[in-house]
Structure 1
Amino acid sequence: MNKEEQLIIGVRKLFNQMVWLNKQKMEDSLKGYTPSEVHCVETIAKNKEPNVTKLAESLYMTKGAISKLTKKLMEKDLIESYRKPENKKEIYFRLTEQGKVIFKIHEELHKSFQERDKVVFEQITEEQFDSMLAFVKKYSSHLDAEIKRQGLTIS
């Protein structure tokens, strides 16, 4: 196995370990909400004027899937839709008070996971962080270009 394969397998394993380790705490704290719903709430909270297109791009989902997801979130009273007075066509989303509660719980969980894992990150030098971040950015850009090249759209 070459280093490229080792890295991809290692990243996948790392991601799966994080999901496995965090899963029970997430499910207990966010009972009744799917990971997709919670991540959509998070994306709405962290983006300016999120609409279906922005959400689809951020979450790597189709617009149809986002439409279904936002409908569920509105039914659960986590988000509401609105239009700007100057643009009656485009629909945007914002969190309701209940959505803000779910977002806060999710953020607190992530802080607790960061605190748990701090021991590892404290050992990493600035140079190592910069190198890893550069790799992630480069690989992500490559994958975005490949998605575009293959004509995979968010339609």
Structure 2
Amino acid sequence: MDRQEQVMAGFWDIFNKIIGINSIKLKENFDGYNPSEIHCVEYVGKNADSNVTILADSLYMTRSAISKLTKKLVKKGLIESYQKPENKKEIYFRLTEKGEAIYNVHEELHKGYQERDKAVFEQMTKEQFDIIISFAEKYNRHLDTEIEKMGVDIKSGYFDKL
């Protein structure tokens, strides 16, 4: 296995382990809610004046999927819609009291994940962080270019259909 393969295999292993470990905690704390619902609640909780378009772009989902998702979240009492007096056309979302409670539990879980992984990150030097951050930025730009070449808008839900 060459170095590139080692790096990619390492990232896949890390990614899959994080997803696996975190999924257990998510299921324990959010029975009855799927990951898309939790991530939508998280985004609305962190970003004032979220609307369907903003949510779709941020969560890499279609506007149609976000419309369905927000309707479910309204029905479950986690978010509510509102309009601004100066813009009666646009519909925005904010958390309800129940949504705030879910958001707060989710934030506590994230703090727990950070605490769990702190031992590894505390051992890293600034230079090591800089190298990893630089690599991530370069690789992301590379992937953006490749996606562009394909003529695909990943925020349109294209990959959901594969």
1:8-19 correspondence to structure 2 within 5 Å:
8-19=8-19
Question: Structure 1 vs Structure 2: percent identity of aligned residues?
Answer: 58
Aligned length: 155
Please give the alpha-carbon distance, in whole angstroms, between the structure 1 residues aligned to 2:41 and 2:109: 14
| Matched-pair contact (CA < 8 Å) for 2:50–2:93 | yes
| Matched-pair contact (CA < 8 Å) for 2:78–2:99 | yes
1:58-137 correspondence to structure 2 within 5 Å:
58-137=58-137
* TM norm structure 2: 0.86
| The 10-residue stretch of structure 1 (88-97 or 129-138) with the greater mean CA deviation from structure 2 | 129-138
Structure 1 residues 127 and 151: CA distance shift in structure 2, 3 A:
same
Shift of 1:137: 2.2
Structure 1 residues 47 and 3: CA distance shift in structure 2, 3 A:
farther
2:33 matches 1:38: no
Helix, strand or coil at the partner of 1:48? coil
Show CA shifts across 1:67-124 (max 9, x none).
Answer: 1111111111111111111111111111111111101001101111111111111111
Helix, strand or coil at the partner of 1:124? coil
Structure 1 residues 24 and 119: CA distance shift in structure 2, 3 A:
same
Show CA shifts across 1:119-154 (max 9, x none).
Answer: 111111111112211222222233334434433334
Alignment RMSD (CA, Å): 1.7
| Matched-pair contact (CA < 8 Å) for 2:50–2:94 | yes
List gaps (5 residues or longer) in structure 1: none
List structure 1 segments (4+ residues) > 4 angstroms apart after TM superposition: none
List gaps (5 residues or longer) in structure 2: 157-162
Please give the alpha-carbon distance, in whole angstroms, between the structure 2 residues aligned to 1:133 and 1:140: 11
Structure 1 residues 142 and 15: CA distance shift in structure 2, 3 A:
same
| Matched-pair contact (CA < 8 Å) for 2:48–2:94 | no
Helix, strand or coil at the partner of 1:91? strand
Helix, strand or coil at the partner of 2:50? coil
